[in-house]
Amino acid sequence: MAEADFRFVPLVCGQCTGRMAAGKKQVLYQCHVCGGVWECSGGKLLSKEMIRFSGSGDIHLPFWHATFSITCLEGIINDTAGFMKICGSVKVSDMSSAPPHLFIPAFSLPLQQAIKLGRNMTVRFPSFLLASVQDSLVEPVTLSEADAPLMAEMILLASLVEELRTSRSFLASFSVQLTSLAPVSIPFTRKESRLLQLEMNLEI
């Protein structure tokens, strides 16, 4: 009988030796003692930096954050002004020549809801500041880095004006390139069964 190709990796924080719990479908693990975040890769635990953004609320939800460019019929769209045009935004941004930012929900959420949340965050062009505390406990990350690009594509397609979203020739030419994909957390406030992000006027 062939040996099974698996091994057990003890979930012990490499920084402070605190034990970490692994929930169902979790892809990053967090030490509850020092807040360090780890990923399991090739049978080893590797440290993963997670940026905490500031805001009101004490439930820290994880997202994959990236800047992006879109290749499509119009050519390459790699600045905020260009992206605003194809998603029909009328918001005035002082970041118009900077690359646009994308937020991909990384916690457990039904697919349609995750696409809608990612879309709403992306088309609001939020700007965040770093939180003063960088070791807060974050809700479990269940979307892997490898699955983030596909979600990114679905979120960006959902962000487009209808005319483009339903154009076959546009969609045939559409592809997304992500740059500096990394995990971040954003604070939300719990209100009854809802989660609110007050600065962005968002609700889950």
Decide if residue 137 touches Zn ion (CB under 5 A): no
- Which span (11-19, 84-92, 107-115, 192-200) binds Zn ion, by CB under 5 A? 11-19
CA–CA dist 88, 86 (Å, integer): 5
Helix (H) or strand (E) segment spanning residue 65: strand 59-72
Q: Which of 21, 34, 133, 137 binds Zn ion (CB under 5 A)?
A: 34
Residue 56 DSSP label: S
CA–CA dist 157, 153 (Å, integer): 6
Query: Per the structure block, which two tokens stand in for 83?
Result: 């992206």
Q: Which of 26, 27, 29, 36 binds Zn ion (CB under 5 A)?
A: 36
Decide if residue 16 touches Zn ion (CB under 5 A): yes
Decide if residue 55 touches Zn ion (CB under 5 A): no
Decide if residue 15 touches Zn ion (CB under 5 A): yes
Decide if residue 11 touches Zn ion (CB under 5 A): no
Query: Per the structure block, which two tokens stand in for 82?
Result: 């260009």
- Which span (29-37, 101-109, 147-155, 185-193) binds Zn ion, by CB under 5 A? 29-37
Taking the complex as a whole, the smallest distance from the CB of residue 137 to Zn ion amounts, in Å, to 11
Query: Per the structure block, which two tokens stand in for 4?
Result: 């099974």
Indicate the length of the chain as a whole number: 204
Q: What is the DSSP string of 163-204?
A: HHHT-HHHHHH-EEEEEEEEEEEEEEEEETTEEEETTTTEE-
Decide if residue 184 touches Zn ion (CB under 5 A): no
Task: Give how many residues touch Zn ion by CB under 5 A.
Answer: 8
Taking the complex as a whole, the smallest distance from the CB of residue 54 to Zn ion amounts, in Å, to 22
Residues in touch with Zn ion (CB under 5 A):
13, 15-16, 18, 31, 33-34, 36
